[in-house]
Amino acid sequence: MSTKYSVGKKSILIVDDDKDILELLEFTLTNIGYDVVGFLNTKNVSKVLQEESIDLILMDRTLPNIDGALYIEMLRSKNINTPVIFISAKDSVAEIKEGFLIGADDYITKPFDMEELVLRIKAVLHRSSHESVEMVDIMQHKDMSLDLNRNLLTIGSKNIELTKLEASLLQILIKNKNKALDRDFLIKNVWSDAEHINQKTVNVAIKRLKEKIDPACDKEYIKTIRGIGYLLSA
């Protein structure tokens, strides 16, 4: 590639079951300044999306056990709205249209030109960064302020960095303040791969969230309700 690109430090998650293509994408995008994580299947993707800040997904459609478009549709149903570019050999008008209807931000067919792909990546990231600047998503509860765009919790004058998963958990608790939420409810409403999550995972996630919140506010906001689950006091 002869073109030189200057990019901000953005993170890209790639899913492609073709190892050669995956390695080429990882090498090229890392070389021009992106943080890149690659997967040959979708097994651990939702976990990374919940726990890390990912700016863009490059998704193949022909994957083991699932169409990539159906997987993105599942993520969208869980309110995971990370921008997506499909990179796929499925190139009929109907298939491309289906990809956009499901929620793709762009669609490029295989075989693809790497320089064109990089330009499309830059365009999608540029659009999404402008949208995020305009969108303010703040939740308030007592002396808490939860910034869902940055996964940042402010309690009084203290700033607490949360993981994406922790921010999603706290968001559900705030929305349902003073209601005891059972673990199954939390699994269905927070984890995109709910079928692979057990109640012990919820307990661990809540424990880590409490370890960040309780010392900062010198009180117990998230209470354990024996035999039911968890409650955020109103």
Are 171 and 164 spatial neighbours (Cβ–Cβ below 8 Å)?
no
Give which of 7, 33, 34, 37 is closest to 22, Cα–Cα: 37
Q: What is the DSSP letter of 17?
A: S
Residues 169-179 pLDDT 10s? 999 999 888 88
Give which of 58, 69, 60, 54 is closest to 28, Cα–Cα: 58
Lowest average pLDDT, out of 67-81, 95-109, 132-146, 156-170, goes to 132-146
- Compute the mean pLDDT over every residue in the chain, rounded to the nearest whole number: 85
CA dist 190 and 165 (Å) reads 7
CA dist 165 and 192 (Å) reads 10
CA dist 200 and 191 (Å) reads 13
- Checking if the pLDDT of 49 tops 80, the result is yes
Q: What is the pLDDT of residue 131?
A: 52
Average pLDDT over residues 85-101: 90
Q: What is the pLDDT of residue 3?
A: 36
Bridge partners (DSSP) listed for residue 138: 147
Output the six-digit token pair for 211. 């370890």
CA dist 100 and 103 (Å) reads 5
Q: What is the pLDDT of residue 38?
A: 94
The CB density around residue 137, as the number of other CB atoms within 10 Å, is 11
Output the six-digit token pair for 204. 């661990």
Q: What is the pLDDT of residue 6?
A: 38
Output the six-digit token pair for 136. 């303010």
Q: What is the pLDDT of residue 156?
A: 79
CA dist 146 and 128 (Å) reads 21
Bridge partners (DSSP) listed for residue 197: none
Q: What is the pLDDT of residue 86?
A: 94
Lowest average pLDDT, out of 45-49, 101-105, 132-136, 207-211, goes to 132-136
Q: What is the pLDDT of residue 133?
A: 43
Average pLDDT over residues 175-192: 87
117 band by pLDDT with thresholds 50, 70 and 90: very high
CA dist 130 and 90 (Å) reads 30
7 band by pLDDT with thresholds 50, 70 and 90: very low
- Catalogue all structural domains in the chain, each as residue range(s) with its CATH number: 11-134 (3.40.50.2300), 138-232 (1.10.10.10)
- Checking if the pLDDT of 213 tops 60, the result is yes
Average pLDDT over residues 13-20: 94
